[in-house]
């Protein structure tokens, strides 16, 4: 069963601000999650199995809820490591 995808306003603002390349990564990742929302690389947030988090790439993380045939994206986090305090 494929789930439909919805975004909270906050997540949609981040999605809409992404450059084309990162937006494509987000879309590819969500295309996988709609068929497998409890992917083995995702993990539950807190004690709730339906609220999950997954790193779609090294620079893009999403938190989402699985509910009533929907995958609701709560947060889209962009990790930008171009400027860091300590270089390893």
**pLDDT band at residue 42 using 50, 70 and 90 as cut-offs:** very high
Q: Model pTM?
A: 0.89
Express as a percent the part of the chain with pLDDT over 70.
Answer: 100
- For residues 5-27, give the mean pLDDT: 97
**Structure token digits, residue 10:** 């906050």
**What CA–CA distances, in Å, run from 59 to 40, 70, 77?**
19, 24, 8
The architecture of the domain spanning 4-78 is 2-Layer Sandwich (3.30)
Q: Which residue has the higher pLDDT, 88 or 39?
A: 39
Dist. CA 49–CA 3, nearest whole Å: 16
Predicted confidence band of residue 88 (pLDDT cuts 50, 70, 90)? confident
- d(CA 2, CA 85) in angstroms, rounded, equals 42
């Amino acid at each position: 069963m494929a789930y439909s995808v919805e975004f909270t306003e906050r997540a949609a603002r981040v999605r809409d601000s992404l450059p084309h390349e990162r937006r494509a990564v987000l879309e590819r990742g969500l295309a996988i999650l709609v068929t497998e929302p409890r992917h083995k690389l995702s993990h539950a947030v807190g004690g709730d199995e339906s609220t999950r988090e997954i790193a779609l790439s090294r620079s893009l993380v999403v938190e989402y809820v699985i509910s009533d045939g929907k995958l609701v994206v709560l947060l889209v986090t962009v990790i930008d490591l171009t400027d860091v305090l300590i270089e390893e």
